[in-house]
Structure 1
Amino acid sequence: MVYILVLIFLFILELFYFKLADRFNIIDRPNQRSSHNTITLRGGGVIFYFGALAYFIWSGFQYPWFFLGLTIMTIISFLDDVFTLSNKIRLVVHFSSVLLLAYQLVLFEMPWYYLLIGFIFVVGVINAYNFMDGINGMTACYSLAVGALLMLTNYKINFIAHDLLAFTLLGVFVFSFFNFRTKAKFFAGDVGAVAIAYILLFALGSLILMTGNIIYILFLLVYGIDAVWTIIRRLYLKENIFKAHRSHLYQLLGNEVACNKLLISFLYGLIQFIVGLFVIRFSNESLSDQLIFSLALVSLLSLIYLTIKSYVIKKYIITKI
């Protein structure tokens, strides 16, 4: 009953935001990086935050430092969606939010390199999540896949409050209703991509720290492969990696090959979910078996990724020049 009430509340809230964004002209105009060609409302992913907020209030204010970091990260990302803030302001807020996340995870009581590694990883994943939010349904499908994997693992290990994940994913379901369409009602915006990445990273960090098992990082493998190999290729071509582009595999498939973009988003999520099931299966094996499995999995997916991307570039891009 609680889940049904939260779902109804979030759905009504999303409808209200739809009217608000339309009233105040919170829109996404097509640019060089865009995979859409019409003006669309943006910022609908703010519902992820309100899903977490509903849990925070309902739980009696559990995880206060995490939620404080999520709040200021969400606010600054939403303002950036509306006004386009300077990079310095965003960096300061993101830095503060990551420190609050680290404090909630008790990283300050661990050796200093835990904090350094955690900081680099969190910042990297948040930016990758934002970069990968480029076509309809991508953030929704991938977040549902990762969230489902975390919930499955939580049933066995109980590393985090289950309802935090449940309430957040209810927000993702609501967003999917408006976004997983050929013509989306609105986009997640920076606020959505950043907020859901922050929430999932908190859960993933809790899992890794409780179990001491780094293999769970592979719950983000599909995004990681696309993001890392794209950066490597752009560095090799001496391109500015901070400049907007459309060279991720999902962008090439959707824009150059003209594949169905909803199908691409669904497959990204499905592949990650299947990979995650194998990760859960191997999480109880010996360290050496986990290492062999991880290297084999990363190598296999990288080979498939690079083969497909090379084929697309040669057939659909080079031939057009």
Structure 2
Amino acid sequence: MEYILVTVILLISILIYFRIADQYNIIDKPNHRSAHTQVTLRGGGIIFPIAFIVFCCFNMHMVAEHYWSFGLGLLAICTISFIDDVITLSNKIRLSVHFISVMLLLYFTGAFILMPFWIWPILFVLIIGTLNAYNFMDGINGMTGVYSLVTLLSLAYINKAIVEFTDMDFIMYPVLACLVFLFFNFRKKAKCFAGDVGSMGIGFWVIGLITLLIMRTGEYKYILLLSIYGMEVVLTIIERILLKENIFEAHRRHLYQLFANEKKVSHLVISSVYAACQLLINIFLMYSQLPIWFIILIIFIPLGGIYLGLKWKLKKEHNL
């Protein structure tokens, strides 16, 4: 019953936001990097910080005791991202807030206590890099929502059937937010896009859960719950470096962009394939007892080969 009520609250919240966004012209206009051609409402991902606020209302004592640092980090990164959706901010401002948010996230997960101090800078780089990967991959209808939903449901299963690492509501609230968001985004003509507030918000929540799981189990293999995003972004960055391009400028070199823009494949099909590939990896991870280095070889050698082969073929076909 609680989850039904939460879903209704989130649905009403996003509908109210649509009216505000429409009134104040918070829209996404297509540009040379875009995979869409129509003006669409931006910032629909505001539903993710709203989901945490609703979580606080239903779990006030638990939030005050355990989740306050996570909440501060989430709301800080979502606030700066929403402002950046409306007016472009300098990289220094955004990165400063990201740094503070990640520091709060690591405090929440206990990483500062459980990990040696020389690991801390590595964790900062990994988390900020993963957050930006979430942002880079948020380019077509359904991608952020479906991919995050698969990862969150995998985490919910791990929490229930393998090892309990957090309160189940802390996983289910973003699941419900993803479902409500996808109702408006997983369409041929999306009603809204997530925007930076959405990709950063849900990315922060998912990374927080994965970090909690790793700290609880000591199993670093769970970082591979985001392996499809990681592989795509890392290989694309390497490609752009080899081509001597500015990796901070907008581009259309991701494989999903080539399929969407050059091959005109449905956004919904592409998003579903990415999510399905990650789901297969997640199922393998849950029950594999192999060492992490061997798991990485099993996953990335074939997938990397397929990825590079498809990319080479598409670029050759379209003279890119």
Matched residue, 1:296: 298
Matched with 1:73 is 77
Asked whether 1:121 is paired with 2:123, we answer no
Q: Deviation at 1:317?
A: 3.1
Say if 1:301 and 1:286 are closer, same or farther in 2 by CA, change over 3 A. closer
Amino acid at match of 2:68: P
Name the residue aligned to 2:149: 144
**Would the aligned equivalents of 2:152 and 2:171 in 1 still touch at CA under 8 Å?**
yes
- 1:239-278 deviation per Cα after TM superposition (whole angstroms, max 9, x unaligned): 0000000110000001001111110001111110111000
Counterpart of 1:77 in structure 2: which amino acid?
S
Q: What letter matches 2:142 in structure 1?
A: G
Per the alignment, residue 229 of structure 1 pairs with 235
Alignment partners' CA distance in 2, 1:64 and 1:76: 18
Q: Contact (CA 8 Å) 2:82, 2:197: kept in 1 or not?
A: yes
Structure 2 residue aligned with 1:40: 40
Per-residue displacement from partner, 1:88-122 (whole Å, max 9, x unpaired)? 11111111101111111222223112312211111
Output the aligned Cα RMSD: 1.1
2:117 aligned partner, one-letter code: W
Name the structure 2 match of 1:195: 201
| Structure 1 residue aligned with 2:29 | 29
User: For residue 316 of structure 2, what is the aligned residue in structure 1?
Assistant: 314
- Map of 2:171 onto structure 1: 165
1:252 and 1:12 map into 2 onto residues whose CA distance is 36
The residue number in structure 1 matching 2:112 is 108
Summarize the alignment of residues 62-101 of structure 1 with structure 2, pairs less than 5 Å apart: 62-101=66-105
Go from structure 1 to structure 2 and tell me whether the alpha carbon gap of 1:292 and 1:6 turns closer, same or farther (over 3 Å shift).
same
Name which of structure 1's ranges 142-151 and 105-114 shifts more when overlaid on structure 2: 105-114
Most deviating of 3-12 and 31-40: 31-40
Deviates more, 1:194-203 or 1:44-53: 44-53
Counterpart of 2:192? 186
How many corresponding residue pairs?
A: 314
Partner of residue 18, structure 1 = 18
The structural deviation recorded for 1:286 is 4.8
Aligned counterparts of 2:101 and 2:319: Cα–Cα separation in 1? 40
What SS does structure 1 have at the residue aligned with 2:92?
helix
* 5+ residue gaps, structure 1: none
Query: Which residue of 1 is the match for residue 247 of structure 2?
Result: 241
Find the counterpart in structure 2 of residue 211 from structure 1.
217
Tell me by how many angstroms 1:32 deviates: 1.6
Partner deviation per Cα, 1:47-80 (whole Å, 9 max, x = no partner): 0111122112312224110110101111111111
- Is the contact made by 1:257 and 1:316 (CA closer than 8 Å) also made in structure 2? no
TM-score by length of structure 1 reads 0.96
What is the identity percentage for the equivalent residue pairs of Structure 1 and Structure 2?
A: 46
Query: Structure 2 unaligned runs (5+)?
Result: none
CA distance in 1, matches of 2:178, 2:104: 24
